[in-house]
């Protein structure tokens, strides 16, 4: 799974449940951008986390989901892309025929992926 976090200008991420907040990986158009890559096996529990933000005007600490309910202005854009490898029953018959038609020296690997984006 990849997670992209981009606070709006003058909004800063000051905490999260993953540990110390690292410096943004990229600053573009006055916005900080964070990238998280997370992988797990079949038996791992669901991943839960929180994000904390502050604005440069009031220096108020706010939780993104609580603030989204009270503040009509968006604070952050969050996007997530997930990748599912080796799930049983996800290959179509057509894809299996394509795999089987490949030469022996070709190693095929298929996966399903999806992308979601939210603004809070």
pLDDT tens column, 74-114: 788 999 998 877 666 677 889 889 989 999 999 888 777 88
CA-to-CA distance for 84 and 110, rounded, in angstroms? 9
Give one DSSP letter per residue of 80-108, joined into a string: EEEEEES-TT-S-HHHHHHHHTS-TT---
Q: Is the pTM of this model over 0.85?
A: no
CA-to-CA distance for 7 and 48, rounded, in angstroms? 19
User: At residue 48, does pLDDT exceed 80?
Assistant: yes
User: At residue 7, does pLDDT exceed 60?
Assistant: yes
């Amino acid at each position: 799974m990849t997670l992209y976090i981009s606070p709006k200008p003058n909004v800063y991420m000051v905490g999260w449940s993953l540990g110390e907040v690292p410096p943004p990986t990229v600053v573009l158009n006055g916005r900080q951008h964070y990238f998280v890559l997370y992988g797990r096996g079949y038996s791992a529990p669901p991943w839960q986390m929180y994000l904390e933000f502050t604005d440069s005007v009031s220096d108020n600490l706010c939780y993104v989901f609580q603030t989204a309910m009270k503040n009509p202005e968006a604070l952050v854009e969050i996007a997530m892309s997930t990748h599912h490898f080796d799930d049983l029953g996800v290959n179509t018959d057509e894809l299996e025929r394509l795999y089987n038609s490949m030469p022996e020296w070709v190693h095929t690997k298929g996966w399903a992926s999806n992308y979601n984006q939210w603004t809070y």
